[in-house]
Structures are given as structure tokens and as C-alpha cells.
Amino acid sequence: MTVESQSLPAPAPEVTPEGAPFWAATADGRLTLQQCAACGRHVWYPRYVCPHCHSTQLEWVEASGRGTVYSFTLTTRGILDYAGCGPYVLALVELAEGPKMMTNLVGVDTSTLSIGDEVQVVFADTGQGNALPRFRPLAEP
Amino acid sequence: MSIKRKAYIAGAYEHPGRELPDTSIPQIHAEVAIGALADAGLSLSDVDGYFSGGDAPGLGGLAMADYLGLRVRYMDSSDMGGSVYLSHVGHAAAAIAAGKCNVALVTLGGRPRTTKLRAPGQLMGSPPESDYEPIFGMNVSAVYAMAAARHMHEFGTTSEQLAEIKVAASVHAQYNEHALLRNVVTVADVVNSPFVSSPLHRLDCCVVTDGGGALVLVSPEIARRLDRHCVAVLGHGEAIEHTAGGFQDITVTGAVRSGADAFAEAGVRPGDIDYAGIYDSFTITVLLALEDLGFCAKGEGGKFVLDGALHAPHGRLPFNTDGGSLCNNHPANRGGMTKIIEAVRQLRGEAHPAVQVPNCELALAHGTGGWLSTRMGNATLVLGREDA
């Protein structure tokens, strides 16, 4: 089966001070990440302190929006906003920059989907001034 | 300072109910507290230390301590999901060893089967990840399923191997009159049951039950006075495994560290263990724990569980002889307490005769709380017979 983005809810996040730059960028269709100026590693999800080296010098950088499927599941057990949307794919996508991001895969055929597949970000408008980053198969160049 | 033999489990009680629509959650805590204290030959008035997890209604343990009328001089209401009760045994033993209390009570109680409080996040306020994970429809079975899918990808683990874990639990549960599921199932039954979150099937998942359980720990001096076979706390370890800023390996749990600490404190090795109570929220939870506790090499869990390895009484590592959370109960969506209670029964020789491990002298109990694939609490106990 194939789950299309429009069949999924796009609940608006509660924007916290740490995450405000991230959500603001989604409104422009940009995926951003924190990167630590002290140790150089990327950080997901947004926060005040680097969990790798404990520096507080976290800076926002633009991500490529590309990644690979690290793991995924087709789940029938939607809860809260997802209670009535039918089966959908929850996934951990390993971004090209390194961190794994929990997200949904859309526009994928679940009968052929595999760990390691290349994906690219797409944005689902929440209607509240920001958008949820989801991923679909990488388009052929 | 080691806690080895500094505290003894003198009382244990598992609530027999699995659906308790007419019992309040505080009453469940009270019933199991009284039950465990009676098992020890003690009463509520003897308790001077109280340990409760996130299932206890009210502000930490304050409300339940008030409801029970406890005169507490030491209290711990820390939480690590369903693994916290194993953690609390370690904390209680440390408190007793330090002279902070002499009779410690640990309680669990809840009603997820007859109320709607099932979803993650509904009980937890707003954790910092709340806008980056649940917003994509994260649910409990899905995050465990992703760990299973990745383990299959990296190590070739199969659905049939995971099913062997459920089969062993069901073979044990047939002897437990209180178990929610008492039918013995086959590998085919498990893999032919509907997917909940691929690759996990309905029968890879634990039951959802009301109920609870409690433990009473006492100082060595009190243990000697009691007319009861007590169980020695020999070792304890706990570890948080987190998302590492997005760099987590979801095939590995914190049992690597909590297990190593517990074994080191007890001065024993995995091969010495006669019985293992292992948190079984899903079949994959058991498989990862077996590897990470050192019962087999990483990636070999699928092969380890074959050939009846987990079956009591004669498998290589008899586990969850009450039927575990996969078949017996998972009260309050937290399976850690019952892993300890059945280990206590095994060490006292009070398990059902069909599943009692002969000469059971050394047992392990392990919990994995929170969520595989994201963040988890892990706690391990090594327990021994009082006279061993």
C-alpha cells in the first residue's frame, strides 16, 4: 500500500523557545538542524545544551533534506491526532548530516520499501504558520 | 558501598485481578501493599520507607503515603517507566544499608484496561521531545517495531524467532490460573496473527491489564526475625539509554550497562543464573535484553531462543514462568514489578510445580521502561535465596 501525505493529519506543534527557529524555517520549506560550534556534531531534537559535549554553543544550520531510511514500521495503531487516519508509516530517517529524525514516510510503496532507501524531505502545512517535515522517495535526478 | 545482602525481600504480592472496573487505583495500591506486608508477616504500621513510580496517583508518593497512613522517613518517587520497580528495589536496599529505613514498601497499581489512560504523553506532561516525535503519530508498538525491524535488517532475526518467546510464555501461562491468556500458542499462531506495527504481530505484544503488585524489603536483622524465607538482594544496576542527540543505535539497550553493574555487584556471571524474569512488553524487548545482559552474543538472540531455551523447568534459561506480560498481566502498562515477584516465587520454591526451576538459587530480574528506538530506563537485579 501507499500512504499519501494528504491522508495524514498535520497537527501544529507547540513551539518552544528552543524549537522556534526550526519551526520558523519549515514555513519556508527549509529543514534546519542545530550544530555544535564546540564539537562540530549535529543535534536532533532542538535543545539548549549539546548532548555530545555539553557546550551551549549550538548554532542553526541548513540541512540537505536528504537521508536514508534507518528503520520503519507500518502501524495500524494510530493514537491522538492519528487515531482515525488508517495505517501509516512511522520511520527513523538518518539524515545526511548524521542524526536520526522520527518522521513519516509518504508516497512509498510499503511492499517494496526497505531500510537503506534514500529519501528527501517534504513539508506538510499545519495551517498554523509552520509545517511538519516528512520524507518521500528521493526523486531521480 | 555494595548493597549485596544488605537488604532482603520479605514480602511479595501480585493482585489477582486483571479487570478491576469497580476498584479505584489508590485501593489497588492499598490492596497490594497489605498483601505484600501480610506475606512478610508485617503491617502498614511497620513501614518507614515508601517507593512509588509514575503510576501512583497524586504528587509523587505523597498522596499514596497519606492514603495508606504511612509514617515514612524515607521516600523515593522516581520514575523510569515500567523498569522503575527494579530500580526501586536497588534504591530501597541502598536506603536500608544506609540506615535510612528498615521496612521499605514498593507498590504498583493501575487500570489501563478499564480506563482510557493508555497513550504515551497523556500521563507525562510535556517532555522536551513532545513536538518532534508524537506529532508524527508515534505510538508504543511502533517504536518497538522499528527496533525489531532494524534488528532483523542487521542480524537476520526472523519473526519466527521472535515468536518462540511468546510460545514459551504461553506454555508457562497455562499453569497460572490468574493469567489473562492461558492458551498455548504456536509459532504459526504468532506470525499469522495480524500486524499491529510491522514486523510485530498482535501476539508479539503484551496484554493490557488492570492490577498491581507490591514488595516489602527489610534489613538483615528484621529478615532474621521474620518467620519467612526471604530473598537476598545481591546486585542492582540501572542505566538510561537516550537518543544521543539523534545518534542512537536502536538495536542496543541500556541493559548492557545495568546488567554489567548488577552482575559485578553480585559477583556472578550470566551463566550462573538459574531463572530470569525479563521485561516482555513485546517479544523484541526480551530478545534485546537477552543479548545485552550477556546471555548470548549481540545479534545471536534469535538463535538463542530456539530449541525451548526459555521454557521452564529444563530450558537453558527458564524465563517468565508466570506467563509474563505477554500472557499473564502487565498492570498499569508497567511490567517490572511482576518480573521481581515471579523471581521471588522461584527463589522460594513457590512457583507452580510445572514450571518451578529445580534448586533455583540465583535469579535475575530485568526491566526495560520507556520506549525502544527512543529513550528508555533499564534496571537489573540479581537476587538469591536467603540461605544460598
- Model confidence pLDDT, tens digit, residues A91-117: 999 999 999 999 999 999 999 999 999
State the average pLDDT over residues A42-49.
97
Q: Give the percent of chain A with pLDDT over 70.
A: 97
Does A103 contact B at CB distance below 8 Å? yes
Helix (H, G, I), strand (E, B) or coil at B340: helix
Where does residue A125 rank: exposed (0-12), middle (13-18), buried (19+ CB within 10 A)? middle
Residue in chain A closest to B250 (alpha carbons) equals A71
Q: Are strands B376-385 and B362-370 parallel, antiparallel or unpaired?
A: antiparallel
Q: Rounded CA gap, A138 and A67, in Å?
A: 9
- Parallel/antiparallel/unpaired status of strands A131-137 and A118-125: antiparallel
Cα separation, B211 vs B331, whole angstroms: 5
Interface test with A, best of B117, B124, B129, B132 (most A CBs within 10 A): B132
Task: Output the pLDDT for position B121.
Answer: 42
Cβ separation B121–A14 shorter than 8 A: no
C-beta atoms of A90 and B126 within 8 A: no
**Interatomic CA distance for residues B258 and B236, integer angstroms:** 7
Residue B174 in contact with partner chain A when CB distance is under 8 A: no
Prior bond to B313 cis, omega within 30?
yes
Q: What's at B56, amino acid-wise?
A: A
Question: Measured between alpha carbons, how far is residue B40 from residues A54, B105, B371 in Å?
Answer: 47, 11, 34
Query: What confidence category does residue A3 fall into, taking pLDDT thresholds of 50, 70 and 90?
Result: confident
Element housing B238 (H / E): strand B231-241
Strand order, beta sheet including A42-43: A42-43, A32-36, A58-62
Residues in chain B, total = 388
The shortest CB-CB distance from A72 to any of B141, B149, B196 is to B149
pTM: 0.96
Q: How far is CA B21 from CA A44, B54, B120, in A?
A: 42, 20, 21
Q: What is the pLDDT of residue A1?
A: 73
Q: Are B284 and B162 in contact (CB under 8 A)?
A: yes
Please state, in angstroms and rounded to a whole number, the distance separating the CA atoms of residues B273 and B277. Answer: 11
A115 and B150 within 8 Å at the Cβ level: the answer is yes
Three-state SS at B27: helix
Q: Do B245 and A103 touch (CB under 8 A)?
A: no
For residue A7, the model assigns a pLDDT of 87
- Nearest residue to B95 via CA among B231, B3, B222, B215: B3
Looking at the complex, does the CB of residue A140 fall below 8 Å from at least one CB of chain B?
Answer: no
Which chain B residues are within 8 Å of A14, Cβ to Cβ?
126, 130-131
CA A39 to chain centre: 23
* Number of cross-chain residue pairs from A and B with Cβ atoms under 8 Å apart: 136
Q: Is A19 on the interface with B (CB under 8 A)?
A: yes
The SS3 assignment for B190 reads helix
Confidence (pLDDT) at A4: 74
Calculate how close chain B gets to A87, using CA atoms only, in Å.
9
What are the per-10-residue average pLDDT scores of chain B (388 residues)? Answer: 96 98 96 98 98 92 96 96 97 98 97 73 66 94 98 98 98 98 98 98 97 98 95 98 96 98 98 98 98 98 98 98 98 96 98 98 97 94 88
State which H helix or E strand residue A94 sits in.
strand A88-95
